[in-house]
Amino acid sequence: MSSTTNSPTHHTSTIGAIGAPSRRNTELALLVFAVVIPVFAYANVGLAINDEVPAGLLSYGIGLGLLAGIGHLVVRKFAPYADPLLLPLATLLNGLGLVAIWRLDQSKLLQSLPNYVTAAPRQLLYTALGIAMFVVVLIFLKDHRALQRYTYISMFVALVLLLLPLVPGLGADVFGAKIWIRVPGLGSVQPGEFAKIVLAVFFAGYLMVKRDALALASRRFMGLYLPRGRDLGPILVVWAISILILVFETDLGTSLLFFGMFVIMLYVATERTSWIVFGLLMSAVGAVGVASFEPHIQTRVQAWLDPMREYMLSRNGSNDGILHSEQAMQALWAFGSGGTLGTGWGQGHSELIRFAANSDFILATFGEELGLAGVMAILLIYALIVERGVRTALAARDPFGKLLAVGLSGAFALQVFVVAGGVMGLIPLTGMTMPFLAYGGSSVLANWALIGILMRISDTARRPAPAPAPNPDAEMTQVVRP
């Protein structure tokens, strides 16, 4: 907050004079593309697989268009100055994800798998619920600072969400990772996806209050500002919880995501590089420490180092009592077989990945059928979402908003990195899903809520400053110098 001032008159009038355009028409134009591109992709899949335009094309197009339209109208009404890119980008990813899920539904191999359910209609329902969630956030969250009031409730809720999969009878073990819970009547829920948002709210509220203490009360040692022992408390607690997740839920990705998000927010709040150093050291110690005794994590690491060996073990059977999976190698083959331009929609064989082909591994389908070009485009769309999020943080006028926006964007970026990196064999595989692309209700709902919150913050940030209030609160009138 070095570039803020407590004498608002001059700067507020400047912002008011700019009269930031709402950019709602830009958003509408982009949304047309975000709907039309998946509709063409859908037609493409149908032509490639069944030699005909799929019967559901019109209803699919109208459905997606309607959902995007509702989202847009709500934004126009309730968040007119929100960032114009976020909604179209999320819609495009969501739409393409639906097409890929529908395409995998057509695979006879996947249909023959036990427990396989036709996923596309459900995903369409989840999408509708996701947009509803987005709408609810925009309508009822009039000001993101309201969330600040729930700082400690958020902490409690986040802990409950994170620990739910460990409750006996509720948690479900899917391929070794225990990050799911089964809710009767609802199916499987991944509470970690929601915990991501709630935890960001808690961190933002907590750090906003404590940041001065954390930033200033420190000693200088070897060029680094060392925090005081008692200030180390919170980071140690979060670290301990991450380690607990890693040990008991055996999921590297979730653990990395939460700890990474905390370190990012801590760094932004305190502007102290030393926190990054501490964070990296602690995550390294934690990951290596747990990996040294947890067989599931070890298997994942081995599968990452030598996917071919893992594939052979899965094929020929092994007697080490560990469930081996050929997915990692199959995903690499899918990417390789796609090459530069891909096979085209519907013409690849990514269904060979079998289990989780349409959720955790969905990027491999894009890799094979749209090729290097397609995957790079999708990664750049993710990059745009993240950068729009950070841009929102930069523009936000209050520290809570800044912290929340950067926390959510950072978590989003980390999730994309961890999942895409895992599927592409850059890092060990984890059990998380590609935001918006992958099949899964929790993921779609939580990410639409995330986009909703980011748009709320950006709307607040870009909205022309209100006329000088008779009794302005110092906190409320802080602005960022352009």
The DSSP string of 33-75 is HHHHHHHHHHHHHHHHHHSS--TTHHHHHHHHHHHHHHHHHHH
* DSSP state, residue 248: I
- What φ, ψ does residue 339 adopt, rounded to 5°? 65, -150
Q: How far apart, in whole angstroms, are the C-alpha atoms of residue 146 and residue 141? A: 7
Per CB under 8 A, does 93 bind another protein?
no
3-state secondary structure of 295: helix
Identify the residue among 17, 19, 51, 108 touching another protein (CB under 8 A). 108
Q: From the CB of 220, what's the least distance to another protein, in Å?
A: 19
Per CB under 8 A, does 49 bind another protein?
no
CB contact at 8 A, 45 and 54: yes
**Nearest to residue 465, comparing CAs of 478, 452, 448, 454?**
478
Residue 397 one-letter amino acid? R
Q: Nearer Cβ to another protein, position 109 or 244?
A: 109
Identify the residue among 264, 357, 404, 449 touching another protein (CB under 8 A). 264
Q: From the CB of 414, what's the least distance to another protein, in Å?
A: 7
Binding characters for another protein, 300-319, by CB under 8 A (x = yes): --------x--x--------
Identify the residue among 16, 344, 425, 464 touching another protein (CB under 8 A). 425
What letters, b where the CB count within 10 A reaches 16 and e where it falls short, cover 384-411? ebbebbbbbbebbbbbbbbbbbbbbbbb
Identify the residue among 290, 413, 449, 479 touching another protein (CB under 8 A). 413
Q: Nearer Cβ to another protein, position 232 or 424?
A: 424
Per CB under 8 A, does 480 bind another protein?
yes
Span of 134-142, 145-153, 383-391, 468-476 interacting with another protein by CB under 8 A: 383-391
Per CB under 8 A, does 144 bind another protein?
no
Per CB under 8 A, does 7 bind another protein?
no
Identify the residue among 81, 180, 206, 335 touching another protein (CB under 8 A). 335
Q: Nearer Cβ to another protein, position 36 or 384?
A: 384
Span of 84-92, 115-123, 336-344, 468-476 interacting with another protein by CB under 8 A: 336-344
- The number of residues that bind another protein (CB under 8 A) is 53
Per CB under 8 A, does 128 bind another protein?
no
CB atoms within 10 A of CB 61: 18
Contacts of the segment 420-427: beta carbons below 8 A, 24+ positions apart: 420/363, 420/379, 422/253, 422/304, 422/360, 423/331, 423/360, 423/361, 423/363, 423/364, 424/331, 424/332, 424/335, 424/363, 424/367, 425/304, 425/307, 425/328, 425/331, 425/332, 427/304
CB contact at 8 A, 412 and 389: yes
**Cβ-count burial of 226 within 10 angstroms (0-12 exposed, 13-18 middle, 19+ buried)?**
middle
Per CB under 8 A, does 475 bind another protein?
no
Largest CA distance in the chain: 77
Per CB under 8 A, does 430 bind another protein?
no
Per CB under 8 A, does 210 bind another protein?
no
Per CB under 8 A, does 259 bind another protein?
no
Q: Nearer Cβ to another protein, position 71 or 367?
A: 367
Per CB under 8 A, does 52 bind another protein?
no
Q: From the CB of 279, what's the least distance to another protein, in Å?
A: 12
Residue 440 CB contacts under 8 Å (≥ 6 apart), including other chains: 126, 190, 359, 433
* Interface with another protein (CB under 8 A): 1-3, 108-109, 264, 267-269, 271, 308, 311, 329, 332-333, 335-340, 349, 352, 367, 371-372, 375-376, 379-380, 382-383, 386-387, 390-391, 393-394, 399, 402, 406, 409-410, 413-414, 416-417, 420-421, 424-426, 480
